[in-house]
Amino acid sequence: MLPAPSLFGDAVLLQEKIIVRQLGLQPYEPVSQAMHQFTDEREETTPDEIWLVEHTPVFTQGQAGKAEHVLMPGDIPVIQSDRGGQVTYHGPGQQVMYVMLDLRRRKLGVRELVTLLEQTVVNTLAEWNINAYPRPDAPGVYVDGKKICSLGLRIRKGCSFHGLALNINMDLRPFLRINPCGYAGMEMTQVSALSAGANPEAVQPRLVHHFLALLNNPPAEYISA
């Protein structure tokens, strides 16, 4: 696993507290609205936050999304999002991690944050003996050419929101109704298909652990919904 200092230089020196909110299973829109409100209202001294959530079934279209990539939505709602990227699917059994960081305060660039999130997933999956890797041509994390984690971010006032979605133990069939992230025929996979018994309850704390480790282990306060 990659040590944090070699990746992010000065960015790892900040030791300000991060609040980690465990939200459980939630519809997408109320969480998205709360995330926007948090970002709009935060001040220079507002602590950074991580939100952990599983969403009820939904397709979300990013800023680069095209209608033709939504093939057969059926009874699953399609919601426009202001994150980067194109269309993806969220559903139970997928761990979503939203990261609300003051990038200026942490001396992180956007590309560094993307790298940090990808490496977080790579390091987490290594604990399940899964050899995962990012791709320079398509943000996210992959295993044997199949996508296991999607990324999408937005930056406002120097602060990040949105984040990553890691497929753990979910129904992957809705991905067949779209061109995931705009790629026709993109195959998806999940942790449970590669490591028997994997579930969000086991993976979630390790995901947070590795994310905080790459930030040089700032103090964290955990809050459950």
Is 182 part of any known ligand binding site? no
Question: Which two three-digit tokens encode residue 89?
Answer: 């699917």
Q: Produce one character per residue of 77-113: b if its CB has 16 or more CB atoms within 10 Å, e if not.
A: eeeebebbbbbbbbbebbbbbbbbbbbeebebeeebb
φ, ψ of residue 93 to 5 degrees: the values are 90, 0
Is 90 part of any known ligand binding site? yes
Is 151 part of any known ligand binding site? yes
Is 173 part of any known ligand binding site? no
Is 185 part of any known ligand binding site? no
Is 22 part of any known ligand binding site? no
159 is catalytic: no
Beta bridge partners of residue 75, listed in sequence order: none
φ, ψ of residue 120 to 5 degrees: the values are -55, -45
Per annotation, catalytic residue among 4, 58, 132, 181: 181
List Cβ neighbours of 8 (8 Å cut-off, separation of 6 or more). Answer: 108, 112, 116, 214, 215
Is 115 part of any known ligand binding site? no
Is 36 part of any known ligand binding site? no
Is 164 part of any known ligand binding site? yes
How far is residue 145 CA from its own chain's centroid?
19
The binding site for substrate consists of 83-90, 150-152, 163-165
- Which of the residues are catalytic? 181
